[in-house]
Amino acid sequence: MKISIVGQSDYLALLLGNSKLLKIRASEPIAPRVNSLPRAGANEPRTVLLLGATGFVGMHVLHELLRRPDVAKVYALVRKKRAASPESRLAVATRSFGLTLEKSDRLEVLDGDFTANDHFGLSDENYARLRGSVDVVLNAAGATNHTFPYAYFRSETIIPLLWMMEFCATERHKSLHFIGSMNGEVFRTMRDFMRIGFYHCGYSRMKWIVKHLAIWAREQGLSASLYLPPHVLGSSLTAFKDPGLRYSFWHMIWYSSQMRKIWEAEDPVPVISADALAREVCDNALSATPRLFAYPSAYISMADLAQTFGWTVVPWKEFRAELKRTFSISFKKWNPKEPFSSLFDMFLHTFFTRSLFTNDLPEIISTITRAAQRSEPAAATELPPSRFIHECARKNYVIGRSVAGELATGQGVTALKELTKERS
């Protein structure tokens, strides 16, 4: 069975903002083939293939899988890098976030790479073993870089996704679960597809195509599910450590903390802690009838964010104007003692604030939030968003320092201690 994109129809769909132009071809009808495959019984524990276990989201998913009685076996596909073995890469990745994985003989780490056309880079023996035994494929892998063009993601994510569909329709019935992103929701009107910027980037375009591939797969009879999380933040499992300034959310918090202000907005900001996301993904993936879309999300209003950090809420225009004044290129801010680095900093902040806090940011956030709120109710988080955001900010060296004053007079006792008490 071969599944492919017809010509460059994905580019055409993106160019004209019309998902109907995206054409996918399967070498044979998928539904009859999938329906004839053996599959796990309703109450039988599942065998799971996890991609992206070394990533922040993936390690939380792995932790959740290993804790569950409805999982018989987890294969984690991890690529070898330089001299480091897949097992040691996974151990280093989880250790760097302080996440402890349950010791389990149910986990087998395999050396492979899902972007390799040759059986995901697995040996023939391992590939055959997986093809005949896996029930659930969970993909939490992929680059998250907002500067890469769609062409990069096409070969890194879209084409391998089609191979995964082929894999799921071969030898044994497998459901396919994919971590998308709410970023794909920024494309609503034809005009949105013409935009290029931090939100309207190659990454978001890829997530939009992924969403329509998942819809196509369902229509053809494959059990495909897509999860569209917003900003994924730290959890109690990592003592609220997360990748910090690798995330645009923390950049927003950092810039707001420099002005001790945030803007007024009608709609809340969607966020999710990584453990809540992992729970929602696994609950759906291991259920008897996984749903096509899940928007795992909790919400925090700007007023609550302001209260969490002790900031003032101001109209958007006022916020943006002050931001542009504060972070601009000016001779007065130039430091002759550090001529190059101060100039570089000025350029960087000026460029970054303009692209991150784009003129219509409140509308973009509203579009994303409303798309998520139209779906099933949001995941229940163990802590309210204001609490886990507060704890993650404290934990992050750069953010913690920049909001230190506010946090000191903020909510006081750490949520982690409270949680630990509640659990014991």
Q: Which residues bind to ligand NAP, rule: CB under 6 A?
A: 52, 54-58, 79, 113-115, 140-144, 156, 179, 181, 229, 231-232, 247
CB of 243 to ligand NAP, least distance (A): 6
Within 13 Å, how many C-alpha atoms sit on residue 239's CB side? 11
φ, ψ for residue 125, nearest 5 deg:
-65, -45
Tell me whether residue 114 or residue 263 sits nearer to ligand NAP (CB atom). Answer: 114
The nearest distance, CB 115 to ligand NAP, in angstroms, is 4
Closest separation in Å from C-beta 420 to ligand NAP: 25
Task: Quote the CA–CA distance of 83 and 352 in Å, as a whole number.
Answer: 36
Q: Which is nearer to ligand NAP, 113 or 166 (CB)?
A: 113
Closest distance to ligand NAP from the beta carbon of 274 (Å): 8
Structure tokens at 383: 């802590």
List strand residue ranges (DSSP E) for 252-384, in order.
261-263, 269-273, 293-294, 298-300, 312-314
Place of tokens 């995901």: 120
Q: Which is nearer to ligand NAP, 175 or 181 (CB)?
A: 181
Q: Where are the beta strands (DSSP E) in 215-326?
A: 224-227, 231-233, 261-263, 269-273, 293-294, 298-300, 312-314
3-state secondary structure of 155: helix
Minimum CB distance to ligand NAP smaller for 144 or for 307: 144
In 3D, which of 221, 228, 240 has the Cα closest to residue 281?
228
Which residue, 211 or 231, is less far from ligand NAP as judged by CB?
231
Kindly tell me which of 185 and 406 has the beta carbon lying closer to ligand NAP: 185
The runs of H, that is alpha helices, within 36-85 are: 56-67
CA–CA distance, 121 with 130 (Å, rounded to integer): 13
Residue 70, token pair as written in the block: 């409805």
**What whole-number distance in Å separates Cα of residue 386 and Cα of residue 397?**
19
In the complex, least distance from residue 272 CB atom to ligand NAP, rounded to whole angstroms: 8
Q: Which residue is nearest to ligand NAP, using beta carbons?
A: 55
Rounded to a whole number of angstroms, the minimum distance from the CB of residue 229 to ligand NAP is 4
- Hey, is 176 helix, strand or coil? strand
Of 37, 33, 27, give the one whose Cα is nearest residue 2. 27
CA 125 to the chain's CA centroid: 32
How far is CA 40 from each of CA 37, 71, 97, 177, 368, rounded to the nearest angstrom?
A: 10, 12, 34, 16, 36
Instruction: Find the helix or strand (DSSP H, E) in which 93 lies.
Output: helix 86-96
Based on CB atoms, which residue is closest to ligand NAP, 167 or 327?
167
CA distance 276 to 181: 15
Determine the residue type at 353.
Answer: T
Decide whether 66 or 143 has the Cβ nearer to ligand NAP: 143
Q: Which is nearer to ligand NAP, 63 or 172 (CB)?
A: 63
Which residue number, 141 or 294, has a Cβ lying nearer to ligand NAP?
141
Instruction: Report CA 424 to chain centroid distance, whole Å.
Output: 31
